[in-house]
Amino acid sequence: MTHVPATHSTLSRLMRQVEDQVREHVLQTYKSYLERLLEALRDAVVGRDRYARGGPEDVSYYRYGYRKWKTVQVPWGTLTEVRVPRIRTSCGKEVRLVTYEHRLKALTEELLLGYVGGMSARTWTILLRELGIGEAHPQTLLRLIRRLREEKERWRKRPLSGVKALVLDGVWAKRRGSDQKKLVVLSAVGVKEDGTHELLDWIVAAREDRASYERLLTGLYERGLEEVELVVADEAEGIWQAVETVYPEAKKQICLWHLQRTLEQKLLQDMGERKGKNADLQKERRAFRAEYWKLFEAGGKEEAEGACEAFVKKWAPKAPRMTAALLWRKERLFSYLELPYAWKKKVRTSNLAENLVRHMRSFLRRYPGYMSLAHADEVVGLYVVGMQVIQEVGRRTPYQLQRNFNTPP
């Protein structure tokens, strides 16, 4: 037998060597692109080519040379001596193209996490300096937090319209102290007629019950969302009781993924009483999954209901509990097929809300717990608004930049 010679390296070590070799090249490319983007922003704000004469009558910005950032922290390392274009007004006053506060927004998530966790603005100032990002006065950080709070309040009061479907879900979180009960963040995601979706609102509650969901849905109703065509959620009965109160005319769609898990449990109970062999159980389980999802490949509701009848007829003799559970939920199985939109399959599960909750949960998991419901609401609110700020960092238009220049801090 031929023996494979022993290796003195590992894949991770080889990957680190490759990373070290290309790091310098990547940093130089990163720096070059960053400087070109900064110059493009300057040209867009100034509004004319270098040495060009004339232009719009309201031109008030002029080129004013360059300054250098000593260090800029990026995912691949630290950039040094980055050339930053300068701009001055017609009165000779310098206006920075990119202020330090705009650079801080790239750290919004960590800033909010540290702040709500009790980290002082002074500690954050020291941390930013140690990271090589630069100096920041504590009041600058507090001003950013204050603006985010104000943005959160404006965001939660904005009027709502054009929402065709609602996806509801909740995520549980812990409180500080071993004897404290958990709390739940209930969220509502709206899907518009063009298929786009967004978080509409959330509340923090002690329980996932009817009263809590009524409070969430009533808030949406009062902001202009007086009717929706479809509501999607899991099997928590409190959700459907609240929907019946606030949106009684809406069609109701149970999350098909949650239903699959419920039916599988019933199936295993039925199969376990008839057969004790694990191989048979797994075979039946795989067959159930394949046939279950085929029910929802139908083109219309009538076709789907016909396929459901055939499914029940086949499975009822060997899985009576499972088929009974399916029939009990039949009124909420195919509601999504009644929608006239191409994206209707997006709302046959609660995945839109689940994905939002999954990202939020990864953020909240690093947090040691909440002191109260109000504290949890503050954390979630700043997180949501902070994520919106981060998404906007790379998408500032020249008009937005000029508006920022004309707006006093």
* Per-residue confidence (pLDDT) for residue 221, from 0 to 100: 94
DSSP state of 107: G
Is 357 part of any domain? yes
Distance CA 216, CA 164 (A): 17
Task: Say yes or no: 323 and 358 in one domain.
Answer: no
Q: Is 135 among the domain residues?
A: no
Q: Of 283, 315, 338, which marks where a domain is finished?
A: 338
- Please tell me the predicted confidence (pLDDT) of residue 399: 37
pLDDT tens by residue, the chain, 409 residues: 555 555 566 776 777 777 677 777 777 887 887 888 888 888 888 877 776 665 555 557 888 888 887 777 665 667 888 888 888 887 777 777 765 444 444 455 455 555 555 555 565 565 555 444 445 555 666 666 677 677 778 888 889 989 999 999 888 877 776 566 788 888 899 999 998 888 899 888 888 889 999 999 999 999 999 999 999 998 888 899 999 999 999 999 999 999 999 999 888 888 775 555 455 777 888 889 999 999 998 778 889 999 999 999 999 988 899 999 999 988 899 999 999 999 999 999 888 887 776 666 666 666 666 777 877 787 777 777 656 654 544 333 333 333 433 343 3
Contacts of 241 (CB under 8 A, 6+ apart): 210, 213
What is the spatial distance between Cα 105 and Cα 208, in angstroms, rounded to a whole number? 34
Confidence (pLDDT) at 155? 81
User: Looking at residue 309, what is its pLDDT?
Assistant: 92
> Tokens 């980055």 label which residue?
82
Task: Decide if 97 contacts 40 (C-beta within 8 A).
Answer: no
Would residue 16 be called left, alpha or beta, if left means φ above 0 and alpha means ψ between -120 and 50 degrees?
A: alpha
Specify the pLDDT at position 310: 92
User: Residue 185: inside a domain, yes or no?
Assistant: yes
329 falls within a domain:
yes
- Residue 81, pLDDT score: 87
Q: 249 and 363 share a domain?
A: yes
Report the pLDDT value the prediction gives residue 192, as an integer from 0 to 100. 92
Q: Does residue 172 form part of some domain?
A: yes
Specify the number of domains making up the chain: 2
Is 289 in the same domain as 251?
A: no
Q: For residue 127, what are the contacts with CB-CB under 8 A and spacing of at least 6?
A: 114
Q: What is the domain range of residue 190?
A: 164-255+349-370
Closest residue by Cα to residue 323 from 353, 295, 361: 295
What pLDDT does residue 363 have?
Answer: 63
pTM (predicted TM-score): 0.62
11 in any annotated domain: no
Task: Supply the CATH number for residue 172's domain.
Answer: 3.30.420.10
pLDDT of residue 274: 55
